[in-house]
Amino acid sequence: MRSEAEFAVYAALPVEYRQLVDVVDRFPHGVQARRIARMTYPGMWELDEADIDSRVVGILRDRLSELAADGFVAIERSSEYGDIYRPVNSPLDMATWTLEQGRAYYATRHAELIGADQLPAAAYSMVLGAWRTTLIEDAHAGDGLNRISDGEMFAANVAAFRIMRGFLTAADRGPEAWQRLSHTLTDPERVAAGSRTVADLLGEHYPEWAADCASAVRYYATLTAPAAHDMAWFIAVKSCFGAVSGNWFGMPGWARVVDAFAGRTEPAVPETVRAALLTAPDQLDPAILEQYVRAGIGTL
């Protein structure tokens, strides 16, 4: 329920903006821009989401960003499925959570499945939003550019996780720290898999991905701007978002995955390679990782 003053501001919005606010208000769990487009543009309901003009969605996202700046919409930029729009003060708006709420939610919903330590889970949640489930998938997928092998994807995911985990461990939430994180992730010369750089992996998608990644990091930075939102808060809350697995590298189940894989794989996994899988799989030759992915070791 909006206050009288808030309603006056809402009433003063152009009709097309009020329409967007009304739609978002119906989805406390969040809604994507393409679905909003289907419900707000004449005739869009007759189209599949894939058929919606990207120009229309782009205009819609610009308007939603304006509404976010005006306090009507919250944007979750770290979702594994792209930007999610929610009403302000939605129970799933990260900015409204407390440290205690994040810890309690994680303990009841995630700890048993992916481990009690929230820091690696938060790091992977950041990886999903800034790296893995972004335009990187179009560069990786066989129906996209097909520029990145599964072995290279494995290595690049681990490399991104290392960066995020190191950032969270340092616990510096100052603007300069977030800026360094953004520069590190998007550095076109950063070696991400074997000898290949980020720019080489992404190809024609690099400029757009770099902008999206920087935007996601800026969003994380804004979440930690309030005094009460220190890094402990960010870790507790961020770990609750994103489909993170306890069997990924750096998570509690990874050692079991490696042991089970090494125990059944023929030819046998050399001990030096097994040790590298446990501690630094991104340092292995992506061609080796490719073989293991195809043999079923499982990756992010």
Q: Give the pLDDT confidence of 72-111 residue by residue, as tens digits.
A: 888 887 544 568 888 887 777 788 889 999 999 999 999 9
Are the C-beta atoms of residues 248 and 119 closer than 8 Å to each other? no
- Judge whether residue 168 has pLDDT over 50: yes
Q: What is the pLDDT of residue 86?
A: 86
- Judge whether residue 180 has pLDDT over 80: yes
- Judge whether residue 182 has pLDDT over 50: yes
**What single-letter amino acid sits at 43?**
G
- The CA-atom distances, in angstroms, between 95 and each of 123, 140, 165, 178, 230 are 18, 32, 21, 17, 12
3-state SS, residue 106: helix
Q: Give 44's pLDDT tier (boundaries 50, 70, 90).
A: very low
Dihedral angle sign, alpha carbons of residues 192, 278, 162, 103? positive
- Judge whether residue 278 has pLDDT over 60: yes
Closest CA to 36 of 51, 15, 21: 21
Q: What is the pLDDT of residue 94?
A: 81
- Judge whether residue 114 has pLDDT over 50: yes
Q: Give 293's pLDDT tier (boundaries 50, 70, 90).
A: very high
Mean pLDDT, residues 269-287 taken together: 96
Q: What is the pLDDT of residue 226?
A: 93
Of 4-13, 264-273, 274-283, 290-299, minimum mean pLDDT range? 4-13
- Predicted TM-score of the model (pTM): 0.77
Q: Give 299's pLDDT tier (boundaries 50, 70, 90).
A: low
> What distance in Å separates the CA atoms of residue 88 and residue 44, rounded to the nearest whole number?
26
Helices (H) and strands (E) in the chain, counts: 16, 4
Mean pLDDT, residues 147-166 taken together: 96
Are the C-beta atoms of residues 270 and 300 closer than 8 Å to each other? no
Q: Which two tokens stand for residue 148?
A: 């990145």
Q: Which two tokens stand for residue 105?
A: 């939610």
3-state SS, residue 132: helix
**Residue 266 vs residue 282, higher pLDDT:** 282
